[in-house]
Amino acid sequence: MNLVLFDLDNTLLAGDSDFQWAQFLIEQRVLDREVYEARNIEFYEQYKEGTLDIHEFLDFQLKPLSRHPRSQLDAWHQEFMQQKILPLITPQARELVKRHMLGNNLCVIITATNRFVTGPIARALGISHLIATEPEQVNDEFTGQVFGLPCFREGKIARLESWLDEHNLTWMSFLESWFYSDSLNDLPLLNKVTHPVAVDPDATLKAHAEENGWPIISLR
């Protein structure tokens, strides 16, 4: 059996679901544009530059979840999927997933974006295994806090190894492993697998991939 890991934002998606979720809430007038839009853009730029403080960002991103009942959030998310996300899933991304799903592979999406945003996206892509940043919940309502370790940078390795342990697996359980990502933030995990693949990569990851002879592909 082989392990195939997919980053989500700007990899399987031709865009960033975290950024788009905040923009969607602004467009729905759930969040104030003047207060939130500039901050959302600022965090997105920090992520792309590799300078993001993940805890500061999660405080920004998860707080709105605590201000509304889960039923309302779920209703908004259905609209969000139709308006923002499904147009970002390219035929090339679906074909890549399909190809790996047909093989003897364990396919997992591993993403820094929180599970509320990404769970329905993983299902739309046909991938049942998702490792994501976990928003804290009490009685099925969000508290606005993060639960456990964010699934970001080195945290992706820790979260993955914990997930494997829960499924009675280790790295040694797999003949080979793949990780598809666009981002310099994923270099720790890309360096861990036997087949790192740069997907529409940022400049830093592209340079690293070229230097190390990693495949560079586009799903756009």
Point out the residues that are catalytic: 7, 9
Give the number of residues written for the chain: 220
Radius of gyration, alpha carbons of the chain: 17
DSSP annotation string for 25-52: HHHTTSS-HHHHHHHHHHHHHHHHHT--
> What is the C-alpha separation between 50 and 48, in angstroms, rounded?
6
DSSP annotation string for 85-144: IGGGB-HHHHHHHHHHHHSSEEEEEEEEEEHHHHHHHHHHTT--EEEEEEEEEETTEEEE
- Cβ neighbors of 109 (< 8 A, separation 6 or more) are 5, 6, 7, 8, 12, 118, 122, 125, 127, 129, 130, 131, 132
